[in-house]
C-alpha cells in the first residue's frame, strides 16, 4: 500500500492549513492510500546552518525533530505539503523543513515520489499561487513528480481563503481543490508503485 504524508506548515494547530491538508489526506485514503499527518507547529526544527556536513556524509549535523520527519518523508510514496500564505510565501516553519531536507537530495532519495501543494491566504489573491510555486520549487529540486488538483478544475493544487481558524470549513473551492489534489497524489503514487 502506498503511504502519503501530509505536512502542515502552519504554526497554528487546527487552523485552515491543517483542515485542508486533512481533507486532501482523507481523499488520498479513500483512493486506497495509507496516510500520516505531520504538524510543523509542534516540531522543534532549527534552521540550516550551511555546515555542509550533509554534502560529505549525507547526514544532518543538527539533532532535532527533523531527523524523524526526514525519515518519514524518505519512506513515503507521496507528499501533500500545505502552508498558510505569509507575505506571499511559505511560513518560516516550512522553509526550515525545506532547507533542512538537503540530506535527502544528496543522492535524490525523493526521486519519483509524487507531490502536491496547498496554500491558504487571508485574501483571495493574497499569494496562494506564489506560495504553491515555492513548494513546487522544493519538490522539483528533489526530482519529485508534481501534480495539481486535476480535472475538472486542474490548476495548481489546493487553494484556500480564510483568516479565522475555521474559515476554510466553508470555503468550497479550497475544500474541493484540496480533495482533488489528495486523490491525484494517491492515484499517481499507486500507478507508479503498482508492481
Ligand atoms: C505573518 C503573517 C503573514 C500573512 N501574510 C499573508 C499574505 O501575504 N497574504 C494573505 O492572503 N494572507 C496572509 N496572512 C493570513 C494567513 O495566510 C491566513 O490567516 C491563513 O488562513 C492562516 O492559515 P492557518 O489557519 O493554517 O494558520 C498572513 C498571516 C500572518 C500571521
**pLDDT tens column, 89-113:** 999 999 999 999 999 999 999 999 9
Q: Which three cell numbers stand for residue 3?
A: 503511504
The residue to which cell 498558510 is assigned: 84
Q: For the chain, state the CA radius of gyration.
A: 16
> DSSP class of residue 48?
P
Q: Is 21 in the pocket of ligand 1 (CB under 6 A)?
A: no
pLDDT at residue number 52: 98
pLDDT at residue number 145: 98
Strand-strand pairing, 3-8 and 114-121: unpaired
Instruction: Provide CB contacts within 8 A for 125, sequence distance 6+.
Output: none
166-184: per-residue pLDDT in tens?
Answer: 999 999 999 999 999 999 9
Which residue range(s) make up the domain with 25?
3-192
pLDDT at residue number 75: 98
Q: Is 177 in the pocket of ligand 1 (CB under 6 A)?
A: no
Pocket test for ligand 1, best of 39, 86, 120 (most atoms within 8 A of CB): 86
Query: Domains in the chain: how many in total?
Result: 1
Given a cut of 50, the residues of the chain with pLDDT beneath it are none
Supply the CATH number for residue 117's domain: 3.40.50.360
Amino acid at each position: 500500500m502506498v503511504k502519503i504524508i501530509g505536512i502542515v506548515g502552519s504554526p497554528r494547530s487546527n487552523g485552515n492549513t491543517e483542515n485542508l491538508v486533512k481533507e486532501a489526506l482523507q481523499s488520498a485514503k479513500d483512493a486506497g492510500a495509507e496516510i500520516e499527518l505531520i504538524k510543523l507547529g509542534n516540531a522543534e526544527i532549527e534552521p540550516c546552518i550551511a555546515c555542509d556536513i550533509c554534502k560529505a556524509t549525507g547526514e544532518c549535523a543538527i539533532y532535532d525533530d527533523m531527523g524523524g520527519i526526514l525519515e518519514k518523508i524518505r519512506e513515503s510514496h507521496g507528499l501533500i505539503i500545505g502552508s498558510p500564505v505569509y507575505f506571499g510565501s511559505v511560513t518560516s516553519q516550512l522553509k526550515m523543513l525545506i532547507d533542512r531536507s538537503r540530506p535527502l537530495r544528496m543522492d535524490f532519495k525523493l526521486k519519483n515520489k509524487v507531490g502536491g501543494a496547498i496554500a491558504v491566504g487571508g485574501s483571495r489573491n493574497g499569494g496562494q499561487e506564489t506560495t504553491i510555486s515555492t513548494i513546487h520549487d522544493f519538490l522539483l529540486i528533489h526530482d519529485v513528480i508534481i501534480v495539481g488538483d486535476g480535472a475538472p478544475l486542474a490548476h495548481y493544487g489546493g487553494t484556500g481563503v480564510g483568516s479565522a481558524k475555521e474559515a476554510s470549513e466553508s470555503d468550497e473551492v479550497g475544500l474541493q481543490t484540496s480533495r482533488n489534489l489528495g486523490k491525484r497524489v494517491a492515484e499517481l503514487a499507486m500507478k507508479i508503485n503498482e508492481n
